[in-house]
Every structure is written in C-alpha cells, then in structure tokens.
Amino acid sequence: MVCMNRNGGPEQLLADCQLRAVVDLFTHRWDLVVLAALHDGPHRRGALHERVGGLSDKSLTETLRRLLQAGLIQRQRFGQRPPRVDYALTALGGSLVDGPVRELGRWIHENGDALLAAQERNDSAASDFEHEDNGSAQ
C-alpha cells in the first residue's frame, strides 16, 4: 500500500500518512461504535457506556482519548456541581459518520448475512484444514 506525497507521487506507507490515519480508526474495535453512538447528539460518559454496551471502562477511556486526539469528538465541561462533561461529534467526526461510516453500514445491511454465512463455512473448512495438518504431521 502506498500514499501520495505532496507532489502526487507514491511514497511508502508512512506513520504520518493520511490513509493510514483513517485506517487506524477502522482497526480500533470501539472507535466507530462510539462515533455512531454520538451521532444523535451529545452524551455523558455514563450514557455512552450504557448505549454502546460490551466495552470496559478502560476501553471507553482509551477510545474517547483517541477520538479527542483525532479531532473527531469534543469534550464540553459544565461548571456545575456535581461536574458534568458531555461528549459530542465535531464537524469532522460528523462528516465521517455521515459519509464513509453510513456507507459501510449500508454495505453491512446488504451483505452482512452473506458475510456471516461465508465465515461459518470457512470456519468449518479451517477446522478441517487444521485436522488435516495435524494428521499429516504425525
């Protein structure tokens, strides 16, 4: 995989490559899920944790930090007692959710059953393959 340099020519995939930065979002398990959970408006941390479900408190903290650092969400503190903090999509985060993430969701809706069926078929084929490998190694 290559990236384009400033002159339009190919470069090796670098750590600071724009494509790699976007791909990193798709490889972290909870990033897109949290972004989607914020699509309908700001949420407090506890509400986000409840909406997403299945992620640990540590994973939520790491995800929020990563998304804040990437400029995809913002954190707003309210000067009240007890302290209140809301998380919301930035314009950049909203454009990601409304664009590529929505298209990915559409693709999953159209192809998800076929994908799961193929995985199930291939899981049993992989199991057969492992048994063949173990048998031939003896």
Residue 93 sits at φ, ψ, to 5 deg, of: -65, -40
Enter the pTM of the model.
0.71
pLDDT of residue 118: 93
**Residue 26, SS3 per DSSP:** helix
Name the one residue in this structure whose structure tokens are 């000067």: 79
Fold of 30-136: Arc Repressor Mutant, subunit A (1.10.10)
What ranges do the domains of the chain cover?
30-136
pLDDT of residue 12: 59
pLDDT of residue 30: 94
pLDDT of residue 53: 87
Which residues of the chain, if any, have pLDDT below 50?
A: 1, 137-138
pLDDT of residue 28: 86
pLDDT of residue 122: 87
What kind and span of H or E run contains 77?
Answer: strand 73-78
Contact of 35 with 70, CB cutoff 8 Å: no
Contact of 38 with 87, CB cutoff 8 Å: yes
pLDDT of residue 112: 93
pLDDT of residue 41: 96
DSSP 99: I
